[in-house]
Structure 1
Amino acid sequence: MLTQWNQLRNDGTLRSRAINAENPTGAPGSAGSASSLLGPGRKGSAWYQLPAGESVTLADISGPGVIRHIWMTVTDKSPAGPFVLRDVVLRAYWDGSAHPSVEVPLGDFFCNGFGERTLVTSEPIVVAPTGGMNSYFPMPFRAGARIELRSEHAGDLEHIFFQIDYTTGDDFDQWPGYFHAQWRRSNGTTAPGEDHVIVDGVVGSGCYVGTYVALASLHRYWWGEGEVKFYVDDDTDLPTLCSAGLEDYAGGAWAFQDALRAEPEPNTLTFSAPYFGYPFSSATDRTKASEFSTPMLAMHGLYRWHLPDPVYFQGKLRVAVQQIGAWDHGLFERSDDISTTAYWYQTTVNARFAALPPAARRAPR
């Protein structure tokens, strides 16, 4: 998928464009025109502001194209409190749709759940020091695209830095489908034996390309024995695909072993790889929002990109993960605080998602 839309070809039809605060429309020959104290064209409009309770449109593009790269950075806390990365929502709309195809808390989209920054080094998502969030998911559109941020944070955000790089003139003879991403949470509310639903209600044809999981452990012992299950097309009670366990799904093994140690700081076994990773593990609230931040619930962030091995579907798709733990006496059912982001493509814009919970119900435990 990424290779298809990132070929280094120049057949005379492709044009490169970029939208940021220095060129809000992406128009050719129009970047960097604002004046500063240094004079015209000298970094005069480097950011947007985002007042509490309001939205800001980052890009509003007319005509066909492909978003190739999104770079963004915001503060992860403000004088009004932490959790900016959960309080701000990223939305993307394709081809004039009235509802978004991407609706995810900003941090979670970039594999930074819990309202905390962590470094991520993978093929489609990179989070670099200090909070430079990058997406390389290609996002094609036929008639237009709109990307916005909505703040439900209690305080104003003074600096929204961003850049959206895209192309026009792309060949859509082999249409890959519209990019989608959705966030869901089971906040310790599922009954024992009830799976957390990662995504459901996907109707049409397409391919599933990735999952991010942010899990706060609400029970003792090992938390990741549950299998990730893909119900494809005509599947009913049983899925066509399932993993051997959550850490196995994320490319690890044997419960990450030393990751179970009760350390106040993140352990050394966290890792990022091109297609899978376990970049975050902590029992300390690094937002430092409270003097009571240590100790606390163990938090775990992991991702898996199905880019070399997409999960294809022709009619419908449902993805879920079991909440199963393990200890010396065997397996047991759990109900943890688990938030997930699903990433997929489909040939049509999917139906409207269920309403995103408000910021108070998205706040990390």
Structure 2
Amino acid sequence: MHNILDLTKTQPFVSRAINAENPHGKPGQAAMTPSILGPSRKGSPALRNIAPGTTVTLADISGSGEISHIWFTLDERTTDADCFVLRDLVLRMYWDDETEPSVECPIGDFFCCGFGRATTITSIPVVSLPTRGLNSYWPMPFRSHARITVENQHPNPIPDLFYQIDYRLYDEPLAENTTMFHAQWRRQNPTQPAEDYVILDGVHGSGHYAGTYLALTTLERHWWGEGEVKFYIDEDTNYPTICSTGTEDYFGGAWSFARQQDGHTEEQTFSTSYLGYPYYSRHDELIHNNYHNDDIPPQRGLYRWHIPDPIVFRTNLKVTLQQIGSAYRGAFERSDDVATVAYWYQQEPHSAFPSLDAAEQRWPR
């Protein structure tokens, strides 16, 4: 099984990088684009004016290797009305000869920036820094080929897309039991009371679950985080092998993330190596209202990385989240607007993903 913490392969490799200054990652061919400043003087730092409906190929790599770092930056809006660029651009990744992507996700959510809005995250595999410096350190191995694309489903052209993909090419083939990186976005708007939201299903084969990002828009009153995250592993049917004791517990917090401030109680955000609650919309309420002149339901972004504690499966995996809240009379079934990204590694082939919602159906409330 591929170790997602293995950053020092013993087999020999060469280092390569792809960006707009070297779109094919060729040795000795970076910084060749003509510049008004002269040869090799910052000629092409970005892709320009990506038209609506266009899919651009960012990386097309041949050989045996591993992507070790991906960086993006772009504006999150093209006009005040067209403000969901991070939900409108779709990131896809294909390993070897597959025609169905192993990664399909709105570009913002992949980097734990849901709701079409960037936030600051400082974790081990995902880092988002001011302003919209989007970084992934998930190891992404491939045996013979890797292809990464971005599709513009935004109403307008994307003026600039800055990117860099750092990778290594190995002198020898990867082991046959190497597991490949996968990520899948889902949304249910709204969820149905007493029916668990499905984070991931239809996974067949062997591998390990590596993490969850949750973009939750609460639609009902009172505390929202009593629902358990369940892992149905291999032959599990009615009951899972692993479940959390509550939603905030799964994401590493406790007691409603509550703290006392200025005489009232509010939720406290945080970002750590393996888990975090980096985004709460009410902390940015003035910014939101200045941008949009409206009110929004409370929105929360949370992540949990199963890196020290991977969820290993041998034949099947399903992951779900209960929608359960708590009020003065105890626990109750809720209905909210839930979106997630599941991250996992498995041996190929993988099952086809559910169809991705159209761009307008991905927009946040």
Alignment TM-score, normalising by the size of structure 2: 0.94
- Determine helix, strand or coil for the equivalent of 2:60: strand
Q: Would you say the 8 A contact 1:82–1:289 is kept in 2? A: no
The residue aligned with 1:330 is: 330
- Mark the CA change 1:37 to 1:262 in structure 2 (over 3 Å): closer, same or farther: farther
1:261-306 deviation per Cα after TM superposition (whole angstroms, max 9, x unaligned) = 999xxx67211000000000113384554212x4x21111000000
**Does structure 1 residue 310 correspond to structure 2 residue 310?**
yes
- Determine helix, strand or coil for the equivalent of 2:45: coil
**Does structure 1 residue 27 correspond to structure 2 residue 29?**
no
Q: Which amino acid aligns with 1:14?
A: F
CA drift of 1:62 comes to 1.0
The residue aligned with 2:139 is: 138
Counterparts of 1:44-55 in structure 2 under 5 Å?
44-49=43-48, 50-55=50-55
Counterparts of 1:120-135 in structure 2 under 5 Å?
120-135=121-136
Q: Would you say the 8 A contact 1:259–1:269 is kept in 2? A: no
Moved more, 281-290 or 68-77: 281-290
Moved more, 20-29 or 276-285: 276-285
CA drift of 1:234 comes to 0.2
- Determine helix, strand or coil for the equivalent of 1:255: helix
Measured in 1, the distance between the counterparts of 2:102 and 2:16 equals 22
Q: Which amino acid aligns with 1:159?
A: D
Q: Give the aligned length.
A: 356
Report percent identity of matched pairs. Answer: 52
Measured in 1, the distance between the counterparts of 2:207 and 2:197 equals 22
Moved more, 171-180 or 206-215: 171-180
- Mark the CA change 1:147 to 1:259 in structure 2 (over 3 Å): closer, same or farther: farther
- Mark the CA change 1:261 to 1:94 in structure 2 (over 3 Å): closer, same or farther: farther
CA drift of 1:327 comes to 1.0
Q: Which amino acid aligns with 1:203?
A: H
The residue aligned with 2:116 is: 115
CA drift of 1:358 comes to 0.4
Measured in 2, the distance between the counterparts of 1:244 and 1:135 equals 29
- Determine helix, strand or coil for the equivalent of 2:162: strand
Counterparts of 1:63-142 in structure 2 under 5 Å?
63-79=63-79, 81-142=82-143
Measured in 1, the distance between the counterparts of 2:267 and 2:247 equals 19
Q: Would you say the 8 A contact 2:17–2:167 is kept in 1? A: yes
Q: Would you say the 8 A contact 2:231–2:320 is kept in 1? A: yes
Q: Would you say the 8 A contact 2:256–2:267 is kept in 1? A: no
Measured in 2, the distance between the counterparts of 1:301 and 1:14 equals 37
Q: Would you say the 8 A contact 2:92–2:149 is kept in 1? A: yes
CA drift of 1:260 comes to 11
Q: Which amino acid aligns with 2:236?
A: D
- Determine helix, strand or coil for the equivalent of 2:258: helix
Measured in 2, the distance between the counterparts of 1:262 and 1:298 equals 21
Q: Would you say the 8 A contact 1:176–1:345 is kept in 2? A: no
- Mark the CA change 1:41 to 1:262 in structure 2 (over 3 Å): closer, same or farther: farther
Counterparts of 1:145-184 in structure 2 under 5 Å?
145-169=146-170, 172-173=174-175, 175-184=177-186
Counterparts of 1:216-227 in structure 2 under 5 Å?
216-227=217-228
Measured in 1, the distance between the counterparts of 2:261 and 2:163 equals 37
Q: Which amino acid aligns with 1:317?
A: L
- Picking from 1, 4, 23, the partner of 1:2 is 4
Q: Would you say the 8 A contact 1:22–1:32 is kept in 2? A: yes
- Mark the CA change 1:260 to 1:114 in structure 2 (over 3 Å): closer, same or farther: farther
Consecutive unaligned residues of structure 2, counting only runs of 5 or more, are: none
Q: Would you say the 8 A contact 2:257–2:267 is kept in 1? A: no
Q: Would you say the 8 A contact 1:178–1:349 is kept in 2? A: no
Measured in 1, the distance between the counterparts of 2:261 and 2:228 equals 19
Measured in 1, the distance between the counterparts of 2:9 and 2:131 equals 30
Q: Would you say the 8 A contact 2:208–2:313 is kept in 1? A: yes
Q: Which amino acid aligns with 2:273?
A: P
The residue aligned with 1:242 is: 243
Q: For the aligned residues, what is the CA RMSD? A: 1.9
CA drift of 1:3 comes to 2.4
Q: Would you say the 8 A contact 1:2–1:307 is kept in 2? A: yes
- Determine helix, strand or coil for the equivalent of 1:350: coil
- Mark the CA change 1:285 to 1:333 in structure 2 (over 3 Å): closer, same or farther: farther
Q: Would you say the 8 A contact 1:67–1:167 is kept in 2? A: yes
1:316-348 deviation per Cα after TM superposition (whole angstroms, max 9, x unaligned) = 100000000001210000110010000000011
Measured in 2, the distance between the counterparts of 1:193 and 1:123 equals 34
Q: Would you say the 8 A contact 1:116–1:286 is kept in 2? A: no
CA drift of 1:172 comes to 2.3
Q: Which amino acid aligns with 2:45?
A: A
Measured in 2, the distance between the counterparts of 1:87 and 1:258 equals 35
Moved more, 87-96 or 253-262: 253-262
The residue aligned with 2:13 is: 14
- Determine helix, strand or coil for the equivalent of 2:248: helix
